Structure 1
């Protein structure tokens, strides 16, 4: 990503390997959440909107996901719930369903989160979430979801 990695005045923070910038911490967290898929999304976005790509890495992943108060499983449950309830963010929902599988959620847990949203966001939002889950589950084998059906 070139220039985005070298952002001037980047905030420094203590990380597992000494001092790291918000951007470096964000990349580390993004990798833990999404694996290489997240890195690919950011690289593609950086081709068109490098400043936005940098912000996407620094704020949600470098600042929020890196906070110790919730684990990555809990953060992905909350994110899947929010994106399902929104009903307008299917590409992002699919990314986070895959991330949920990556951080150890089972298909059953993801489906329960989506079903719970029927109560608070309505059946159309939950049905859209189920369709997104079906798509993601079809692309991911049982080995990536903890063995769930």
Structure 2
């Protein structure tokens, strides 16, 4: 593997989100969005998700909480799937959402539970 954070980022991105998701994102990339997709892969996945300070489970917990707090629901659904890939159990995902009710608000957690329930029913069959 090269020392380019893009290459490391693409490897982690594929591992966490799955080839199908990344392939769809890559297929939608155009001249307008190419720089943004490069930024996500190089910096979010290649420079942050590859750091040794937290394992992927912990990064998933932090990511789910941040997405609930900011109301980024499309990303939240994607990262519920990623959290399962990263080893979080359904019960642990529920605990993350429950914890977020205290710090992010009950309405946000309520919506998070609703979305996560649907995602988990789809993915854990």
2:61 to 57, 77, 92: 77
Given the two structures, how large is their TM-score scaled by the length of structure 1? 0.77
Separation in structure 1 between the aligned mates of residue 27 and residue 113 of structure 2, nearest angstrom = 27
Deviates more, 1:102-111 or 1:130-139: 130-139
Q: Output aligned runs, 1:61-100, within 5 Å.
A: 61-87=45-71, 89-100=72-83
Q: Deviations over 1:92-116 (max 9, x none)?
A: 0001000000111001000100010
Residue aligned with 2:3, SS = strand
Aligned residues: 124
- Structure index of larger Rg: 1
Q: Alignment RMSD, CA only?
A: 1.5
1:56/1:41 CA distance change after superposition, 3 Å: farther
1:85/1:27 CA distance change after superposition, 3 Å: same
Matched, 1:24 2:17: no
Given the two structures, how large is their TM-score scaled by the length of structure 2? 0.91
Deviation at 1:40, TM superposition (A): 3.0
Separation in structure 1 between the aligned mates of residue 6 and residue 102 of structure 2, nearest angstrom = 37
Unaligned runs of 5+ in 1: 1-16, 143-149
Separation in structure 2 between the aligned mates of residue 91 and residue 104 of structure 1, nearest angstrom = 21
Deviation at 1:29, TM superposition (A): 1.0
Q: Output aligned runs, 1:1-149, within 5 Å.
A: 17=1, 19-47=2-30, 49-87=33-71, 89-141=72-124
Higher relative contact order (CA 8 A, sep 6+): 2
Residue aligned with 1:68, SS = coil
Unaligned runs of 5+ in 2: none
